[in-house]
Amino acid sequence: MTTPSLERPFGSGADGFQPCPITPVIEILFSRWTTPILWSLHHEGPLRFNEIRERLTGVTPKVLTQRLRQLERDGLITREQFPEVPPRVEYSITELGLSLSPAFGVLGSWADENLSLVAHARERYDGSGRPRPS
C-alpha cells in the first residue's frame, strides 16, 4: 500500500484527477489487517499489542507495528503508554475511528446478504472451464 502524500490529494494522480471519490477511503481502510484491527478495538475496547496480535492469526509483529502506526497517524486509533515498570502500552479506537461504524455495518449487511451469491457465481465460473484469475 502506498502511503498517501500530503503534497497531493488522497488517491489522485499526478494531474490531480481522482476518478473515484472513495479511493482515499479504500486506501486508508482496506490494506491488509487494518479492518480487523479497527474491528477488534471497537468491539473489545483498549488492547495491548500482544492482545491484538493474538486476535489476528497470521499477522507478523512487524506488519502489526506498521499498521498500528499508520492507523495512529491517520487518527483512527490512539496509543497510550503508561508510566509503569514494565512499560504498558494500550491501543484504543478514536471517535474518528468509531465514525466508521455505519460504513462497516453496511458492509457487514451486504456480506450477510450477498456472499453466498458470490460463492455461487465463483462456482459457476470455475465450472465453466474459463481461466481462473490469479
Residue 58 domain flag: yes
Residue 106 domain flag: no
Burial of 71 (0-12, 13-18, 19+ CB in 10 A): buried
Q: Sorting pLDDT into bands at 50, 70 and 90, what band is 27?
A: confident
Residue 15 domain flag: no
Mean pLDDT of 4-20: 58
Q: Sorting pLDDT into bands at 50, 70 and 90, what band is 10?
A: low
Q: How many domains in the chain?
A: 1
Residue 117 makes CB contacts below 8 A (sequence gap 6+) with none
Residue 4 domain flag: no
**Which structural domain range is residue 54 located in?**
23-100
Which amino acid is located at 99 in the chain? S
pLDDT recorded at residue 17: 66
pLDDT at 122 over 50: yes
Q: How crowded is residue 7: how many other Cβ atoms within 10 Å of its Cβ?
A: 5
Angle between helices 101-127 and 34-44 (to 10 degrees): 130
pLDDT one-digit tens code per residue, 56-110: 999 999 999 999 999 999 999 999 999 999 899 999 999 999 999 998 899 999 9
Distance between CA atoms of 107 and 27, rounded to whole angstroms? 16
pLDDT at 1 over 60: no
Q: How crowded is residue 94: how many other Cβ atoms within 10 Å of its Cβ?
A: 15
